[in-house]
Amino acid sequence: MASIPTLPSASLLTRPSGGRRLVLGSTSIYRRELLQRLRLPFDVAAPDVDETPQHGESPETLARRLGLAKARAVARLHPDAIVIGSDQVADLDGEPLGKPGDHARAVQQLRRMRGRTVIFQTAVSVVCAASAFEASDLASVKVRFRDLSDDEIEHYLQAEKPYDCAGSAKSEGLGISLLDAIDNDDPTALIGLPLIRTCRLLRAAGLVI
């Protein structure tokens, strides 16, 4: 994963249209690149959040809980800012699949998902402590994987090494070749941040987009 710049002091933070500072509470390079599409000045802060699933927690509940927890964690440190938090969990028959972290786990995930439909639950939350604003939304993306051979899985993983991606595939890259279909109403949700929903929440928080 690419390194993320540390958050500068409050006096140096930029202010988007609407008056308040905007902070992305995430270490994901993918979310940072997506948020840049909105052409709003923003800064990045790493949320200190334990991402361990709770016992019996569904993928949807886990994604919602972590997205909100990340936004709240950063908002406590920067109460005057509008903070975005997000989380994505792959849902295979109700079982949460997170980031594989290494090659062996990625192989296992893709073998389990081949020929199956996986729901990628992507939650986004916007929090501003100063204005007592807090709102969340969720995009559920249905992804049908092809019946992949072991050779196809190995070729893909060696080419793209998506070990920091939930579900072990990057749909915005070569990972699209692993799929039969994608069904969703927020095109960037599968990459990691549902921008349609994010814009809606930011407007509700007072930003002009």
Place of tokens 């927690």: 57
Instruction: Choose, from 48, 50, 87, 93, the residue flagged as catalytic.
Output: 87
- 87 included as an active-site residue: yes
| Residues sharing a CB contact under 8 Å with residue 183, sequence separation 6 or more, in sequence order | 141, 142, 143
Q: Active-site residues: which are they?
A: 87
